[in-house]
Structure 1
Amino acid sequence: MTTSRTPLVVVGDALLDHDLCGRAERLAPDAPVPVVHGTRRSSRPGGAALAACLAACDGRPVTLVTALGRDAASDTLRELLAGRVDLVEVPLEGTLSSKTRVLAGDRPLLRLDDGDGRARAATGPAEATVTGAGGVLVADYGRGTADVLRAALATAATRAPVVWDPHVRGRAPVPGILLATPSAQEARAFARRADDGEDTGDEAGLRTAARDARTLVRAWRARAVAVTLGERGALLSHGETPLLVPTPAAAAGDPCGAGDRFAAAAAGLLADGGLTEDAVQAAVHAASRYVAEGGARAVAAVREPETSAPHQADGHSSADAVRTAARVRAAGGTVVAAGGCFDLLHAGHVALLQAARRAGDCLVVCVNSDDSVRRRKGDSRPLVPVADRVRVLRALECVDAVAVFDEDTPERVLGELRPHIWAKGGDYARTRLPEQPLVESWGGQVLLLPYLDGRSTTGLARRAALTPTRPGSPTR
């Protein structure tokens, strides 16, 4: 079921990003530098423009208020944003800033920066868009857009949720914002300014992040500050005891833009009326998925809307799993898929999935939807709804992605994933699987794996039904 989502206004400095991706297998003979060959060039929105595109990926209307000029980079960015977000422009003095990364695989080797343009002045349409917004995300990259619209942003903060993603080259947020989302490094720098330059230590860790967040809540007069900690998640502070929100699993990949993904997810959910704690938790999950799926380079193409809340049935779309499989395949890795109902996950399931993951470089689990389980197992099943089954599977370290299918067999989703290996339990040893010809049609292989005897959901459910409940004991 599609729910209505509050339109979001993103205010900040747009950039144009380029990636030159290739392979580095040797050093140059005349200098100790890698030789990158076989390069492919791609361009994508950067800065506030990336944040706006990511917010639009969540299925909500997005308006980007940013500074653009008459230079070639600005024209290219307008083309990249067409059809994805609505644009409200303020004048740009100079040329649009752009950055070019040279990468070998997923590892950046060099970055080249061009353009020094800054926002020149506010306009009436831009101010009206900001003050009338139902929710605002400020993606400040220190190039003046938030500065020229500061009065309008201060007004917006008195009547709507405002999330501010700061930059060390920019100014402090306006008073009254609902949430600020600095990185640990940014929080450290702003906290030093708030303490009049006093150096309270450079040590990294949760203690420093908590102290900095508490300082910034007071100095910025913000309702809350969430310090993003990369692989560790985020630390949310309202000025007292902080809340640590860990990542659901370690995500290996390109982290460029993960902070924008975090801020965009949090801003959208807060605009919808969500609680700050829930929004930060969903934002951590969204940023983790973003990194695992390839990061900013995946935004070069238009992405399908996704849900940000980790507790929702986000397994209904196979888009995340397809992107994960494509990323691993493009890097030369082996994609393994396994399938089943996974109703009441038990030790037999876990053993099968762990063995399947060891057979390749990523594991995508194909899960029957509730209707599909019902047709196979009867009206009393599933015992666990698909949203919960997906969440439990994603929590397993051996599982990289989950795809839900509504048909009786997983052939459609397998055709989208095109795995190198389709793994099934050894109890299928004497059965020709209906999906086997399909998997073999692209050179894939069906692989049977040992299955732990005596483990089954049906058996667990039967034993649970026979277990007497003590009087007065809870039933949940």
Structure 2
Amino acid sequence: MFDFEALSHAMASQTVLCVGDLMLDEFVYGEVSRISPEAPAPVIAVQRSETNIGGAGNVARNIASLGARCIFVGLIGEDEVGVRLAVTLAQEPGVESLLVHDPSRPTTRKVRFVSEHFSTHMLRADWELAVPASGDIEQKLIDTILPQISRADIVLLSDYAKGVLTARVIRNVIDAAKKLGKRVIVDPKSANFAIYRGATLLTPNRKEFSEATRSRADTERSIADAAQDAMQLADCEAILVTQSERGMTLVPRHGEAIHVPAHPVKVRDVSGAGDTVAAVLAVTLSAGADWETALRMASAAAAVAVGKQGTASVTSAELRRKILPHAFLAAEEKIVAAGAGLEAQLSEWRQQGLRVGFTNGCFDILHPGHVKVLTAARGACDRLVVGLNSDASVKRLKGESRPVQDERARAEVLAALEAVDLVVIFEEDTPIRLITAIKPSVLVKGGDYTRDQVVGHEIVEAHGGEVLLIDVLPGFSTTTLVNRARGDKG
């Protein structure tokens, strides 16, 4: 296990120069319930739409969302879509955009029609002119890019084959970067890897790699074998082949291939997942990560990205939650408020098919009896949510002299336990509203209760859940401990 905190801190001080094809991604969501009477085509009843910065612009967004700084160079037309992209990019924190205008082409726009219920892409409409930039635009791109290389720690070329990364632009950027000792990562589109000659790392997907190497690329061994010739042709240090649910295989010029399996996750939308991978690789390698560490970070980020709708960016906090075993999360990250924060985490767990358990209490002074119940509760589920009475609630239940510790202190102590995955503070005297919101698969209480005495048992059982009573550890009570500490033997 690498030191995530140290790497994350180092990532925040990096600057990435990203060059590539900018586009506007629009997602139109709706429901399909009938076929058009005019033609054998489904009719989508539009419910909502979203627009995002796409293509290489999404790479830039991901770089910035990880806490690094991005200098972005792209190409737009002189049209309304280009204006929208320019304005939106200017508002992105951490992104400095330098856009070249080409009046001879439209700004690339992609509109995807998506079934809201099934998260299925039904149709994509593209507005674009996918031809190489003209000679004068090429020169404007080169003149814009080259002065920025010295300001960057690493260079990332995001090629969508829309005209920005011509052979001449690529050659000028890679040669200039090498002279300054800067590494270059390329997310390639061309099947001719030779045009990227001198880059540090190429990151094709399996289809792109197979076409470029004329290999099946269906096993780690076949990928490793085909990559050797490709690396000779491209004179690069490594090739990373992304394979969706099969994971990622990185083949270095010297040394053994490294394969990282994909994280198990319910895929909602793969749009932009490759952008996320490229961004994470650039930022982590720039921050000093080795190949395997960068690869594991990229794999975790891809899992976060495909679990979101639309063209998504990934934050450092989301990456941390995905890559670290749950028990290693910082205590403060396990403490959430009832509402959106709780629902977001529950939604993620439900998408993964995890069994959620719930227990609650004041936990004023944590003792072995509490630990036994919490440990047993966690053993009955995949993720354990603990409802914690607020200070005001404890006073009403236990008297004016309680609690001994305030709610934040009690929450942090609970969150520090490996058995606890989430702590939610509630204001009411009972957790009935919390249980209604969570609908846990298992509701756990100490064995000093009967099933009918457990608050929320009817809600849980109505949804097919179960109530679990854990035998209490005799001789332990918070009230007894408090009295003993105060010298009261009664």
- Does the TM-score normalized on the shorter chain lie above 0.5? yes
2:111 corresponds, among 100, 122, 127, to 100
Distance across 2 between alignment mates of 1:52 and 1:82: 12
Other structure's SS at 2:270 match: coil
Moved more, 164-173 or 175-184: 164-173
1:153 corresponds, among 174, 184, 192, to 174
2:55 corresponds, among 36, 41, 47, to 47
1:424 aligns with 2:454: no
150 and 337 in structure 1: CA distance in 2 versus 1, 3 angstrom threshold: farther
1:273 aligns with 2:292: no
Number of corresponding residues = 405
> CA shift at 1:293, angstroms?
2.8
1:283 corresponds, among 291, 295, 298, to 298
Distance across 2 between alignment mates of 1:78 and 1:24: 34
Moved more, 334-343 or 12-21: 334-343
149 and 208 in structure 1: CA distance in 2 versus 1, 3 angstrom threshold: closer
Distance across 1 between alignment mates of 2:45 and 2:386: 37
> CA shift at 1:246, angstroms?
0.8
> CA shift at 1:349, angstroms?
1.5
1:69 aligns with 2:87: no
Other structure's SS at 2:381 match: helix
Distance across 2 between alignment mates of 1:236 and 1:243: 5
State the partner residue of 1:89. Answer: 99
1:36 aligns with 2:44: yes
Other structure's SS at 1:156 match: helix
> CA shift at 1:156, angstroms?
1.4
1:113 aligns with 2:126: yes
State the partner residue of 1:165. Answer: 187
Moved more, 4-13 or 313-322: 313-322
State the partner residue of 1:56. Answer: 64
138 and 346 in structure 1: CA distance in 2 versus 1, 3 angstrom threshold: farther
Calculate percent identity across the aligned residue pairs: 24
Match of 1:111, as an amino acid? R
State the partner residue of 1:79. Answer: 87
> CA shift at 1:86, angstroms?
1.1
- The answer to whether the 8 A contact 1:140-1:170 is kept is no
Moved more, 136-145 or 113-122: 113-122
Distance across 2 between alignment mates of 1:86 and 1:116: 25
Other structure's SS at 1:177 match: coil
Distance across 2 between alignment mates of 1:228 and 1:351: 36
> CA shift at 1:214, angstroms?
2.9
- The answer to whether the 8 A contact 1:90-1:123 is kept is no
Other structure's SS at 2:250 match: strand
Distance across 1 between alignment mates of 2:158 and 2:23: 11
Other structure's SS at 1:55 match: helix
2:275 corresponds, among 260, 265, 279, to 260
Match of 2:175, as an amino acid? A
CA offsets 1:338-368 (integer angstroms, 9 cap, x no match): 4789989967424233xxxxxxxxx895799
1:183 corresponds, among 187, 200, 205, to 205
Q: Which runs of 5+ in 1 are unaligned?
A: 193-199, 354-362, 394-401, 460-476
- The answer to whether the 8 A contact 2:191-2:209 is kept is no
- The answer to whether the 8 A contact 1:168-1:189 is kept is no
- The answer to whether the 8 A contact 2:72-2:98 is kept is yes
Moved more, 416-425 or 176-185: 416-425
1:134 corresponds, among 149, 153, 170, to 153
2:467 corresponds, among 419, 441, 450, to 450
Distance across 2 between alignment mates of 1:166 and 1:417: 49
87 and 268 in structure 1: CA distance in 2 versus 1, 3 angstrom threshold: same
> CA shift at 1:205, angstroms?
3.8
> CA shift at 1:20, angstroms?
1.3
> CA shift at 1:323, angstroms?
4.6
64 and 28 in structure 1: CA distance in 2 versus 1, 3 angstrom threshold: same
Moved more, 135-144 or 174-183: 174-183
Distance across 1 between alignment mates of 2:244 and 2:302: 9
131 and 145 in structure 1: CA distance in 2 versus 1, 3 angstrom threshold: farther
- The answer to whether the 8 A contact 2:154-2:282 is kept is yes
Other structure's SS at 1:146 match: coil
Other structure's SS at 1:306 match: helix
Moved more, 80-89 or 182-191: 80-89
> CA shift at 1:100, angstroms?
1.1
Distance across 2 between alignment mates of 1:45 and 1:74: 11
293 and 449 in structure 1: CA distance in 2 versus 1, 3 angstrom threshold: farther
> CA shift at 1:410, angstroms?
9.8
337 and 99 in structure 1: CA distance in 2 versus 1, 3 angstrom threshold: farther
> CA shift at 1:327, angstroms?
8.6
- The answer to whether the 8 A contact 1:154-1:175 is kept is no
305 and 241 in structure 1: CA distance in 2 versus 1, 3 angstrom threshold: closer
- The answer to whether the 8 A contact 1:261-1:283 is kept is yes
1:216 corresponds, among 226, 230, 234, to 230
Q: Which runs of 5+ in 2 are unaligned?
A: 364-369, 389-404, 477-490
> CA shift at 1:46, angstroms?
1.0
> CA shift at 1:182, angstroms?
0.7
- The answer to whether the 8 A contact 1:12-1:48 is kept is yes
Distance across 2 between alignment mates of 1:154 and 1:367: 58
1:352 aligns with 2:381: yes
Other structure's SS at 1:153 match: helix
Other structure's SS at 1:282 match: helix
> CA shift at 1:305, angstroms?
5.1
Moved more, 341-350 or 98-107: 341-350
1:225 aligns with 2:239: yes
Match of 1:174, as an amino acid? Y
> CA shift at 1:273, angstroms?
1.4
RMSD value, Cα = 4.4
> CA shift at 1:123, angstroms?
4.5
- The answer to whether the 8 A contact 1:56-1:305 is kept is no
With normalisation by structure 1, the TM-score equals 0.70
Map 1:452-467 to 2 at 5 A. 453=470
Match of 2:249, as an amino acid? L
Match of 2:90, as an amino acid? A
Structure number with bigger Rg: 2
